[in-house]
Amino acid sequence: MNAPLPSQATAELPFYAPAGNEITLFEHAFKNRLPLLIKGPTGCGKTRFVAHMAARLGLPLHTVACHDDLTAADLVGRHLIEGGGTVWCDGPLTRAVRHGGLCYLDEVVEARKDTTVVLHPLADDRRILPIDRTGEVLEAPDDFMLVVSYNPGYQNLMKSLKPSTRQRFVALTFDFPAAEREEAILVGEADIDRDLARRLVGIGRAFRALKDRDLEEVASTRLLVYAATLIHAGLEPLAACRAALVEPLSDDAETVEALMEIVAATFGR
């Protein structure tokens, strides 16, 4: 059965407008103790989806924003000096394994290569986390789930998941929403009317048509929500779109003005 429409979403859950069967797939992965890989462009809803599912399943959420300097110790933990001695301090991955919950590694390919190796025994049928520094081998409880995400558009030979890592996960592919769903997201997130949502989505789609020609990155659903939020707060639409949609996408003055022409045409100025 399909997930509820945005207007039917449970009030206590972080707002999320489903695209298909991703909620059902996530629930089945959790029940069967399978790790999940989510692929998709920046700002398309991956992180919001994970937050929604953690709340939906009643799980604590441990989020790690991966970066170039992220080490295995940052995930697992390290000894810290305290009171003239050393004490062990769990990292977010260890806390999730030790106490249960959902551990989400956002943009996992940004982390150092040795970091992903730590995930291997957790992401197969062993579901264990060896901690060399303490000699522990933690077994993941039934209410632990590992979720990772990345943007395939940024992949290259230096930043990609090895096949030995990828094949430990079931996977979902996200993309920017269809127009009607994206309008529903803006209405639900920013409390704007449908006509304004339709105009903003039209701008976003026009900007996305420029991908790989005038823009390296395109207007994400996240940026559309920002623009809608500013307009709802009382900022004039052209100023809101410039701040939330145009300036974040380009530093080139000519490109900025060209994008603003699209915005001005949309709002009749």
What pLDDT score does 144 carry?
98
What stretches in the chain show pLDDT beneath 70? 1-11, 154-159, 212-214, 269
What pLDDT score does 154 carry?
63
Cα distances (angstroms) measured from residue 256 to each of 43, 78, 198, 215, 230 = 20, 46, 22, 10, 19
Angle at 69 between CA 133 and CA 173, to 5 degrees: 100
Distance CA 74, CA 105 (A): 12
What pLDDT score does 213 carry?
64
What pLDDT score does 160 carry?
75
The tokens 């949309």 sit on which residue?
266
What pLDDT score does 2 carry?
39
Element (H, E) at 25: helix 22-31
What pLDDT score does 261 carry?
95
